[in-house]
Amino acid sequence: MSADHPIGLQVRNAVKVYPGTRALKGVDFDIRMGAVNVLVGENGAGKSTLMKVIAGVEDLTEGRILVGGEEKQFRSKDDAVTAGVGIVFQELNLFPEMTVAENVFMGREPTRFGVDVKDNEVLERTRALMARLEQKIAPETTLGHLRIGQQQIVEIAKALAQDTNILILDEPTSALSAQEVNVLFRIIEDLKAQGVGIVYISHRLEELIRIGDYITVLRDGEITGARSMEGVDIPWIVRAMIGDKSKDFASEITHDYGPTMFEARDVSLARAGGGWTVDHVSMSVRAGEVLGVYGLMGAGRSEFLECVMGQHPTARGTIEVDGRPLDGCTVGQRIQRGIAIVPEDRKRDGLVQVMAIRENLTLSSLPRLARWFDLSPAIEASKASEFIKRLTIKVASAENPVSSLSGGNQQKVVIGKALMTEPKVLLMDEPSRGIDIGAKAEIYRTIRKLAAEGLAIVFVTSDIEEVLALSDRILVMADGRVTREFPHGAPASDVVTAANPAKAGAIPVSKKDNAEWPMQP
């Protein structure tokens, strides 16, 4: 098999050190041409770092990159492009108000005398690229009018426009529908046949097994498995991803549960253009219980939490906290009734960066700290320092801006803010995102301790290790629905399998059928 697939690019003994962490610890990675090289691992395993190194965005601390057997230095993105490496990031970097052709050649338009863009050449070359990808997308179309899957194709065209023979796709299917995934896979098959080496990163294991020729598994910056895809199944991948024994925080502190504190019934959120982002989700949690909701990106888990916090006016279903419904409540009223959230994106949703640590901690509790309308600085400061102690937040002064703290300590400030409202139910979205390993364990212990104190906790995550380590009970979501429920101690591969939407496998990939895009809704 390897004879058919020559190695195009090799990474040897790659070490990447960031201040405080070793993101890559001596990684060897081969990219085989005319094949799909799958790369898989948990968040923070080092996948992105490895791809950034190959794309020339980051420098290696130690180690070598060989292209066609020759050692190459990738000092900048341009070096990587010259070597034929193109990357399509998970977040699309496109301009919705411009045409497809303008997007494809953004920043490197062919010009006369460096000023006058050769519009015809841009259009013709884009047309040729779309023909190569067998897409009926006119180069003159305004990009924003295309479906998200088509926009993804434009990103791929953008990469191919630079004579790419190695194409890195970072979680390309997370935003795509089943049909769109099939079109993408057909394009990947075509590119493979044209000899392009493809690196495919995804959390959707079913998909990886279906499309991949070779698989490499990363864990904590090390390779834990690398082989041809033949004979690989989900349990094998999960074992390589998380190891045989993972730490079990759930069994460290055990306690009895109280009455039902949180109840959601048929919570639904319609998707723009038909279908459901959150599809009639029901769950209930008792005081002292930690419920882990596991799901891949696009499964609707964050959207479910947003519905619970009243962020979607069109959402339907009922939510009760301690027996009281939250219908029609503002966020402030929801917080008063005993529910608080620790959002996924600390910077965007969790903290006010320009404010002091103290001000962030007390932000949700101001009505209860104030006497009528008077907010006593002394009371506020003592309340803030109480929570700094309680959560062991490492601060030089509570008056420093919250932005000066490390990720783990910032997360504790967000948790502190939620706890200060004395909630009965605590919602957490990806509680350990962007936090280093040491701080992670501390956050986990804090969560278990809070549950032992009688708090009902619902957390959602895409990290299989996290959901296994932390939950008393696990719900798995896929395509907006709850697909399975597991007790504490369930085997990892069962949980992962339940999270893999069946949609991608339902329609077989074939070369020429399905070439048409689904109708616009």
Partner 1 sequence: MADATMTARPGAPSRNWLLTLLELRTYVALIVVFTVFAIMAPNFLSVDNAVLISKHVAINAFLAIGMTFVIITGGIDLSVGSTVGLTGMVAGYLVLYGIDLGLGWSIQFNTLEIVLITCAVGVFVGWINGILITKLHVAPFIATLGTLYVARGAALLMSGGRTFPNLNGSGTYGSASFPAIGAGTFLGVPMMIWILVAVTAVAIYISRRTPLGRAIYATGGNERGAALSGVNVDRTKLFVYMFSGLMAAIVGIVIASQLRAAHPATGEFFELNAIAAAVLGGTSMAGGRGRIWGTIIGAFVIGILSDGLIMMGVSSFWQMVIKGLVIIAAVVIDQWQRKLSARIALTQEAH
Cβ proximity to partner 1, 364 vs 461, nearer residue = 364
What residue spans of 133-242 are helical by DSSP H?
148-160, 178-193, 205-211, 234-242
382 belongs to the binding site for partner 1 (CB under 8 A)? no
Structure token digits, residue 436: 């280093």
Which stretch in 62-70, 119-127, 365-373, 498-506 sits in contact with partner 1 by CB under 8 A? 365-373
> 249 and 444 in contact (C-beta within 8 Å)?
yes
68 belongs to the binding site for partner 1 (CB under 8 A)? no
Sign of CA dihedral 202, 204, 210, 214: positive
335 belongs to the binding site for partner 1 (CB under 8 A)? yes
* DSSP assignment string, 433-444: TT--HHHHHHHH
What minimum distance in Å lies between the beta carbon of 376 and partner 1? 7
Distance from C-alpha of 259 to C-alpha of 292, rounded to nearest angstrom: 18
Cβ proximity to partner 1, 282 vs 330, nearer residue = 330
**CA angle centred on 452, ends 446 and 457, rounded to 5°:** 70
Looking at residues 268 to 327 of the shown chain, list those that interact with partner 1 (rule: CB under 8 A). Answer: 309, 311
403 belongs to the binding site for partner 1 (CB under 8 A)? yes
373 belongs to the binding site for partner 1 (CB under 8 A)? yes
> 292 and 467 in contact (C-beta within 8 Å)?
yes
Enumerate the β-bridge partners of residue 18: 21
Note the residue count of the chain.
Answer: 521
394 belongs to the binding site for partner 1 (CB under 8 A)? yes
Cβ proximity to partner 1, 108 vs 394, nearer residue = 394
What minimum distance in Å lies between the beta carbon of 361 and partner 1? 10
Which stretch in 65-73, 198-206, 363-371, 439-447 sits in contact with partner 1 by CB under 8 A? 363-371
Cβ proximity to partner 1, 406 vs 510, nearer residue = 406
Q: Which of 17, 98, 270, 370 binds partner 1 (CB under 8 A)?
A: 370
What minimum distance in Å lies between the beta carbon of 394 and partner 1? 7
What minimum distance in Å lies between the beta carbon of 175 and partner 1? 21
The count of chain residues that interact with partner 1, using the rule CB under 8 A, is 43
328 belongs to the binding site for partner 1 (CB under 8 A)? no
393: amino acid identity, one letter = I
* Range 111-125 burial, b when 16+ CB lie within 10 A, else e: eeeeeeeeeeebbeb
354 belongs to the binding site for partner 1 (CB under 8 A)? yes
> Greatest CA span in the chain, whole angstroms?
78
Structure token digits, residue 73: 């230095």
What minimum distance in Å lies between the beta carbon of 396 and partner 1? 4
Q: Which residue is associated with the tokens 């965007």?
A: 348
Instruction: Say whether 254 sits in a helix, a strand or coil.
Output: coil
Q: Which of 228, 385, 404, 514 binds partner 1 (CB under 8 A)?
A: 404
Helix then strand then coil, % of the chain, to nearest 5: 35, 25, 40
Which stretch in 151-159, 211-219, 336-344, 382-390 sits in contact with partner 1 by CB under 8 A? 336-344
How many CB atoms are closer than 10 A to CB 59? 12
Q: Which of 117, 128, 253, 366 binds partner 1 (CB under 8 A)?
A: 366
427 belongs to the binding site for partner 1 (CB under 8 A)? no
What minimum distance in Å lies between the beta carbon of 427 and partner 1? 11
Indicate the pairing of strand 197-201 with strand 166-170: parallel
Instruction: Say whether 108 sits in a helix, a strand or coil.
Output: coil
374 belongs to the binding site for partner 1 (CB under 8 A)? yes
Distance from C-alpha of 191 to C-alpha of 214, rounded to nearest angstrom: 16
Distance from C-alpha of 284 to C-alpha of 294, rounded to nearest angstrom: 15
Sign of CA dihedral 200, 206, 207, 212: positive
What minimum distance in Å lies between the beta carbon of 370 and partner 1? 5
Q: Which of 400, 502, 508, 511 binds partner 1 (CB under 8 A)?
A: 400
How many CB atoms are closer than 10 A to CB 25? 15
Which x/- pattern over 231-250 shows residues binding partner 1 (rule: CB under 8 A)? --------------------
Q: What are the residues whose beta carbons fall under 8 Å from the beta carbon of 396, sequence distance 6 or more?
A: none
Cβ proximity to partner 1, 396 vs 506, nearer residue = 396
Binding site for partner 1 (CB under 8 A): 309, 311, 330-332, 334-336, 341, 343, 348-355, 359, 362-364, 366-367, 369-370, 373-377, 394-397, 400-401, 403-406, 417, 421
